[in-house]
Structure formats: C-alpha cells, structure tokens
C-alpha cells in the first residue's frame, strides 16, 4: 500500500468540495485552490481530516494515490499558511526592485531584465548594505511558486568558479578550483 497515499491530511479550518467532474476545491483563510483529480481516485472529508482513496492495487492507482494525496496536502497547506521561496543575487552590481507585479533585475547583462509575475505570486526585494540583494516570493500555490522561482534563477544560474548568479537562499553552490590550482 502507498505509504504517502494512506496518510490522512489534517484540514482544520479548511472547506473541501468535490464537483461531479472530480474537480477539488479547497478554501481556506488565505484563498482558494482548484485541482482536477483522476476519475478513479476518490477524495473525502471526514471530520477535520481528508482521506484519499484508491479503488484497486494496480500500479497506476498506487502511483496516482500518492500523487493526489501530496497535491491535496500542498493545497491545504497553501490556503492555511502559504509558501515562501527566497532567492539571493550574488554578484557585483546585481540588484532587484519590485514594483507591483514587475521585478526589474540587473544581472550583469547590458540591459535590465523585467519579469512580470502572475497575480497569485507576491514579491518583495531587499538590499541591505554589506549583504547580497534578496527576492522573497510568496504564494498559496506551491507549483506556481516553484515555477516562478525557477524562471528567475534560470536568468543567471550560479556559476561554479566565483559563485555569481541567482540562487535559492538555502542552495549550496559547489565551487571549483580555477586554472592556477592545477599547477
């Protein structure tokens, strides 16, 4: 049996509705999220817990069981507490400013990069003296937040020699020795 799929999801303060087309809607204090679930998988709310049930022990059903349990758990966490992703800009002259849903970044190219954020994602940027500029992203949708953070990081990935680039705040960049270290 799926170890992840059989776990119940604590859902105090959350309302769950399942439409006939197997679309799950989770509402909480921070907002509302929707997810379409495979027609074989059943999602029920019993008291303050959500149960994800599969019909058989087929390999396909086992895989979907754990998948949808994780997706629903992330939805519940998102609408109750939300998710955060922090990025750090490492490099001389690298900076970022946030204006509404636009992030304007100077990442060492000849021009600034302006990125428009989806309306579900909120961003703030800080630049303290003596520290690298930071971008803080917040959202209730974990998938969307990860995509946006990955897109920002892909604009200038950390390079292994000097460590310059955009990195997650908890990321460890393995540094390589340069040419002079070989002699």
- Each residue of 59-114: pLDDT tens digit? 999 989 999 999 999 999 999 999 999 999 999 999 999 999 999 999 999 999 99
- Quick: pLDDT tens for 158-175: 999 999 999 999 999 999
Give the Å distances, CA to CA, from 73 to 7, 17, 30, 68, 79: 10, 14, 15, 8, 10
Which residues neighbour 124 within 8 Å (Cβ) at sequence distance 6 or greater?
98, 135, 136
Count CB atoms within 10 A of the CB of residue 151: 11
Is 90 exceeded by the pLDDT of residue 148? yes
Is 60 exceeded by the pLDDT of residue 183? no
For residue 176, the number of C-alpha atoms closer than 13 Å in the C-beta half-sphere is: 8
- CB–CB of 135/148 below 8 Å? no
**Domains present along the chain, CATH in parentheses:** 9-80 (3.90.930.12), 83-168 (3.90.930.12)
Q: What would the mean pLDDT of 112-141 be, rounded to a whole number?
A: 95
- Quick: pLDDT tens for 11-40: 888 999 999 889 999 999 999 999 999 999
Distance CA 49, CA 162 (A): 49
């Amino acid at each position: 049996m799926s170890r992840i799929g059989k776990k119940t999801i604590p859902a105090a303060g959350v309302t769950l509705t399942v439409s006939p087309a197997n679309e799950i809607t989770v509402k909480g204090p921070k907002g509302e999220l929707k997810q379409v679930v495979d027609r074989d998988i059943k999602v029920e709310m019993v008291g303050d817990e959500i149960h994800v049930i599969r019909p058989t022990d087929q390999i396909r059903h086992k895989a979907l069981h754990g998948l949808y349990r994780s997706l629903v758990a992330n939805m519940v966490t998102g609408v109750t507490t939300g998710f955060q992703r922090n990025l750090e800009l490492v490099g001389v002259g690298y900076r970022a400013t946030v204006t509404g849903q636009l992030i304007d970044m100077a990442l060492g190219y000849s021009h600034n990069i302006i990125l428009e954020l989806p309306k579900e994602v909120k961003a703030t940027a800080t630049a303290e003296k003596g520290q690298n500029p930071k971008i803080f992203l917040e959202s209730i949708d974990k998938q969307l937040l990860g995509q946006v953070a990955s897109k920002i990081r892909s604009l200038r990935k950390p390079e292994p020699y000097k460590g310059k680039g955009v990195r997650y705040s908890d990321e460890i960049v393995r540094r390589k020795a340069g040419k002079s270290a070989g002699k």
